[in-house]
């Protein structure tokens, strides 16, 4: 069996790593559904076939999977704010990507800012952002930099600017 990538799924109460999300979203796009509830049920059952989803969190998973589906077909969807910045470091885990992650963490520490920081290493997930070179820095869903390691000061400026919005 081939090693599959794990995709981070943003839930209201945190994040969960799931296997098979890109394939499931592709399959959902090729089908037609009578409504959003049928689509959400399909997505949940597809994820449950390959991942453990506790019974108490199924509604939360449905909403998160639905958001991912809408993003995958290019439909805008109002993101729910969790009260913190969401930062993604895009890259396979090379020294340059790790350096960007460390500089980002240092910038957040100096600014005393809370953030949900993820290092996305899955090449399919990185491709969804449309960057051509890694490392990439994404803040609140917007690509701020790609192909270079930013300094701590540059990252602080980006974070400060984003917090003004």
Residue showing tokens 């999977």? 65
The residues assigned a catalytic role are 94, 97
CB 128 within 8 A of CB 115: no
Mention every residue, 6+ apart, whose C-beta is less than 8 A from residue 10.
Answer: 64, 67, 86
CB 79 within 8 A of CB 141: yes
Mention every residue, 6+ apart, whose C-beta is less than 8 A from residue 159.
Answer: 85, 87, 107, 108, 111, 113, 115, 139
**What is d(CA 120, CA 80) in angstroms, rounded to the nearest whole number?**
20
Is the Cα torsion angle 154, 157, 163, 165 positive or negative in sign?
Answer: negative
Best CA proximity match to 58, nearest among 7, 8, 11, 5: 11
């Amino acid at each position: 069996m081939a090693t599959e990538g794990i995709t981070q799924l943003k839930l209201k109460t945190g994040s969960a790593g799931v296997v098979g999300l890109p394939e499931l979203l592709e399959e959902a796009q090729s089908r037609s559904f009578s409504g959003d509830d049928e689509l959400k049920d399909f997505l949940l059952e597809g994820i449950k076939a390959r991942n453990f989803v506790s019974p108490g969190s199924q509604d939360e998973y449905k909403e998160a999977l639905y958001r991912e589906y809408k993003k995958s077909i290019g439909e805008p969807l109002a993101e729910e704010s969790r009260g913190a910045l969401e930062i993604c470091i895009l890259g396979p885990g090379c020294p340059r990507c790790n350096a960007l992650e460390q500089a980002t963490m240092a910038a957040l520490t100096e600014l005393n800012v809370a953030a949900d920081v993820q290092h996305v290493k899955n090449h399919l997930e990185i491709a969804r952002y449309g960057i051509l070179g890694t490392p990439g820095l994404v803040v609140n869903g917007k690509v701020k930099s790609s192909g270079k390691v930013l300094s701590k000061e540059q990252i602080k400026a980006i974070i400060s600017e984003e917090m003004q919005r």
